[in-house]
Amino acid sequence: MSELVENGITLLREKGLRVTEQRKAILEVLASADSPMSAEEAFAQLPSESCDLVTAYRCLEQFEKINVVQRGVRENGTKVYCIGHGHDHHHHLTCRNCGRTERIDLCMGEELEETAKSFGFVEIAHVMEVFGTCPSCV
């Protein structure tokens, strides 16, 4: 079991959430993925019938609340999740044709936080996704 999964499980325990087979399976899928995936995509990768699609949605929602996963949005509005958030905040560059994804470490989180706070806003979060057409799809 990958370290990412173990960290996730630990966090679940710490937050008083239960560790079920379904949750472990979903964490495994996220851990082995190399790009953010939607609830449906994660579900599709699960060992046959590990759990219901609805459960996948519910688990991802919980995971996000306790920061086990980070949530993003695709160009079309679909929500996507990737494991390992925490101190590893980053973004993605996605090919709008084939879906190929590259990690981007650029982030202006601090500046945004500062600006938002100057407006009196708190609990700042941001979503950023970069899209383009990759070399193989041009």
Assigned token pair, 36:
């953010």
Is the CB of 13 or the CB of 117 nearer to a copy of itself?
117
Residues that contact DNA, how many (by CB under 7 A): 27
Give the Cα separation of 104 and 86 in Å (integer): 16
Closer residue to a copy of itself in complex, CB, 53/127: 127
Structure tokens belonging to residue 88 = 């590893």
Distance CA 92, CA 101 (A): 6
Closest to 64 measured CA to CA, from 22, 23, 104, 101: 23
The verdict on 91 binding DNA (CB under 7 A) reads no
By CB under 8 A, residue 34 contacts a copy of itself = no
> Under rule CB under 7 A, which residues in 11-30 are in contact with DNA?
13, 16-23
Q: Which one of a copy of itself, DNA, none is in contact with 20 (Cβ closer than 5 to 8 A by kind)?
A: DNA
C-alpha distances in Å from residue 25, one per residue of 30, 40, 44, 53, 80: 9, 14, 12, 13, 17
Nearer to a copy of itself, 3 or 111 (CB): 111
Could you give the CA distance from residue 32 to residue 24 in angstroms, rounded to a whole number? 12
- Contact residues for DNA, defined by CB under 7 A: 13, 16-23, 38-40, 50-55, 57-59, 61-62, 76-79
- Contact residues for a copy of itself, defined by CB under 8 A: 73, 75-79, 93, 95, 102, 104, 106, 108, 111-112, 115-116, 119-135, 138
